[in-house]
Amino acid sequence: MEKFRPIKGTQSLFGEEAERFNHVVQTFDQVRRLYGFSRVEVPMFEATGVFARSMGETSDVVSKEMWSFESRSEGSVTLRPEFTAGISRAFISEGWQQHAPMKVATHGAAFRYERPQKGRYRQFHQLDAEVIGSDDPLVDVELLAFGSQLLSQLGIGGVTLKLNTLGDAESRDNWRAALVEHFASHRGDLSEDSQERLEKNPLRILDSKDPRDRPFADSAPTMELTAEAEDFFGKVKAGLDAAGVAYTLDPHLVRGLDYYRHTAFEFVTDQLGAQGTVLAGGRYDGLIEALGGPSTPAVGWAAGIERLAMLLDGDFTQQIDAAVLPMGDAARGLGIAVLTALRKAGLSGELFASGKMGKRMSRASNAGALAAVIIGDDEIEAGELQVKILETGEQKALAPAAAVETITELAVERQMRAVLGQDEEE
């Protein structure tokens, strides 16, 4: 019989790995609510043109990495390689313009056909946050503060926010012309990739990693901002200062596509080596117009869930609050009722109904239970439960309501210890 194996570049998660992944998503959901971002959902595949136009026909993603296929009725469609294009398409075609300015966030799977490596998969998962319909620089500040607080609450250390401005359309056009002139004078000394980029996307030469390109990239002319662009960037920096978000200016941080404007940024950690970017984005005021919509300012960022999950400290093994141990058939019904009461009170629990008492207590301890609730014939007759606190070994007979209260107190104490432990680490 044929043995089926996972497709290259995909993964299945279980146990602590799955809990780490879920912790990233839950923290993102918590922080996006603090900042007033509404949850949205967009299709997992779109017409290929949506991504080709938004990511640039000549980009590596479009030319080499997109998962595209022919639909019987829709022509060429592509599994989403990122979220921004689909959200922008939805803004145009789903009637979302009436809600502008809108702050939206989502997360889910994305797909790129690239060489799998640590923290990078062909099916991967992203967090995404966007603000569409506002040209206020304080929106950029809020989005950056959102990203900064998310990374802080996840406990990811060694993070630097790299910040740059791509100017307005006039600044960018003038800069692009100056870069073309500069790089053209050194065409023969550039790498083959950069010679090709010079014709199609000269800004990409600035972030080339090829040592042949670095001298010319490092000596390239910097952007001269118009007064309006200078004012915009000044307000972003002042807002970050007011929000207490530290940043480092990086004039080599660029976005190659013409629809990008003003703010560009990356949060980089020193814990991942050369590939240290964990959250990145920028302002894309020209994208929605490029997709056939009205001229609409917008800014957003994305972050890889797998990469963030890799950087989490601590043990994320799932723990229960209580183990219910019924002794005998008569106790099983009461055990189910007790477990139901615990869960309604917001406490997690499991029923360990078979095996010797020692084995069951061992399983309860391995599951992280704070207390074991023991029910036998004597307890049924007395209308009480034996509650054993596993950390201390203390055991006492309690009425069901008192048992729930005791276990609640234990759960709150554990949660407080976890929070205090995180604070001490920070």
Is 82 assigned to a binding site? Answer: yes
Half-sphere exposure for 201 (CA within 13 Å, toward CB) = 19
Question: Are 329 and 380 a contacting pair, CB within 8 Å?
Answer: no
Q: Determine if residue 130 is labeled as part of a ligand binding site.
A: yes
Q: Is 83 annotated as a binding residue?
A: yes
Asked if 55 and 81 touch (Cβ cutoff 8 Å), the reply is: yes
Tell me if 126 is assigned to a ligand binding site: yes
Beta bridge partners of 129: 105, 301
First to last CA, the chain: 53
Instruction: Measure the CA–CA gap between 222 and 219, rounded to whole angstroms.
Output: 9
Angle CA 94–99–103, to nearest 5: 100
Give the distance from CA 258 to its chain's centroid. Answer: 26
Residue 266 in marked binding region: no
- To the question of whether residue 259 is assigned a binding role by annotation, the answer is yes
Alpha helix positions (H), 154-279:
169-184, 192-200, 214-218, 227-243
Q: Does 255 belong to an annotated binding site? A: yes
Q: Would you give the DSSP letter of residue 213? A: T
Tokens, residue 357? 């008492």
- Known binding-site residue numbers: 82-84, 112, 126, 130, 255, 259-260
Question: Residue ranges for the binding site for L-histidine?
Answer: 82-84, 112, 126, 130, 255, 259-260
